[in-house]
Structure 1
Amino acid sequence: MSSALETLIEMGFDKQLSELAVKRAGNLDSAIEWIDKNQDKLTPEQITAELADAEDNEEAPALKPGEEARSLVCDTCQRKVRSSAQAEFHATKTGHQEFSESTEEIAPLTEEEKKARLEELRERLAAKRATQSDQDAIDRKKNEQIRMKSTKETQEAKENLEKKERLKEAAAKKAEKQADIDAKKRVLAKLEADKAERKRKAEVERAQRAGQAPPPPAPEPAAPTTSGPVLSKPASAYAETRLALQTPGGRVQKNFPVETTLFEVAHALGQDGVEVSSFTQNFPKKVYDKTDFGMTLKEAGMVPSAALIVK
């Protein structure tokens, strides 16, 4: 290992970078200048490739015997070389073709200059590492902020979705409860009407047996009031009915044409993964098994709405 290479490695430079600098520059002074200009431009992969390429090429030719010492300056990068042979070598490596003669002789660095240059390089490396460390800290902070923001937005979206589902479920429960109340009121009103009709018929029969005039017909009973919306049209005027269905997986609400059969309702639930063997209606209490599935919703009295338990 050359003394220039050993010195560069002792300074803390990467071994491959130091080897490439020595091959490109030839001596310690030039190697230090080369590292100063190129270390930030090359990746480890590029250094490896450049090193392999340098090993395949001949070393820069030395001064010819008896050649007068002088310097040439590259017009492109302002680099100074000692001889025309070294200028040709520089042109081959860099593609720089224009050189100017200079009467300035290139003097080697003194020991003090070498130490000052080494110290300057160390300070640059330390400053670069400190800057990179600060930038890494900034990047980590930004990434953490992005992650926290994403987590917060995801949590808020989840909470909003859960809130909407709760409101939807509460509305479905309320609608089903109201449908049950309305159905019960209709049944009670029908029972009262039937009771009044039987009483009227009995009074008519008694009057006929006694040879008296029949009593006047009883007035029509008032329709039961409900807390839900008042129907402005009879059930026969509806083309669609709303079903609140209590399935094993939860409550669902579906709308069907009034001529839809219970079999078609069961088939629609089956497409959602719900196997149906029967429907149960609480008010009035009625169980519809598969023998009843040919009935339409209109024939079953489930217009304009009904609540069913699916089994």
Structure 2
Amino acid sequence: MESTALESLIEMGFPQNRAEKALALTGNQGIESAMDWLVEHENDPDVDEPYVPPPGHVLSSEEPPEGRTPESLQSGADPMLETLPAEENRRPLSEEEKREQTKRMMELIAQKQREREEREKRETIEREKQRRKQGQELSLIRQKLQEDEMKKLAEERRREKLEEKLAKQRVREKIERDKAERAKKFGGNCSAASPVSTIPEPATAAPVPSSPSQEPPVKREYDQCRIQVRLLDGTSLTQTFQAKEQLAAVRLYVELNRKDNGEEPFNLLTTFPRRVFTEEDMEKPLQELGLVPSAVLIVAKKGSS
């Protein structure tokens, strides 16, 4: 029996279904074409399924095959035999020729595998480049988002500081208006004309009652309160406030007018009776805190005894 391309592929170790399919799908153009197809499609899930020719290739029993005439059928001459590749009509191969052919085909398979590995390696390198490029783009996007967030936080802090500054300015203006109203009411021109930081004390201030025995027998309602504040360096500030003003106005007055170069937070307290005023007390009027008509407050650092 003559050795065919199918037998050669089977001898090389390929399953029969694969060999038949490779030869059929390459148009029976030889072993090399079939080998190329097998290398390219060795991982196909249906590579081992039997080859089924398309229905259009089934020859009709009533019609002679394409390329053959009735005369050729009667005479027994088959033109297809004349067009068969020389590989199909050659003499049987010897064992040495079969080994040489198998060796050549195996080298071809190895070459095809190397080419495929080289191609896969290039594709892997290209995918890695794309992955790194995408990673860099994502990193730039995250960095931009962080910068935008930091700018937003900085803008919010600037806005908060501006609002706090405006709030202090409003309180300062309110104190100055109250001073002007008091000066107008009691005829004092010095406090109305001077800023808060340079307010001189009246030379003829009324004496402060030092004991309950000096109070008038009839209890009276005071509209104003004279507050003396002793600072950390031994100096003092004296100012007159409305009895209904909050203690926070006194603290703001001290912050704006103290000359002891103190910037640390401080508490206000009284000695007799001893009382340390809290943040809740800052919202209470001076009259409710018992500081009317006059009182002495002491400035102390927060946390000190």
**Bin for the TM-score computed over the shorter chain:** 0.3 to 0.5
Q: Name the TM-score, length of structure 1 as normaliser.
A: 0.43
| Larger Rg belongs to | 2
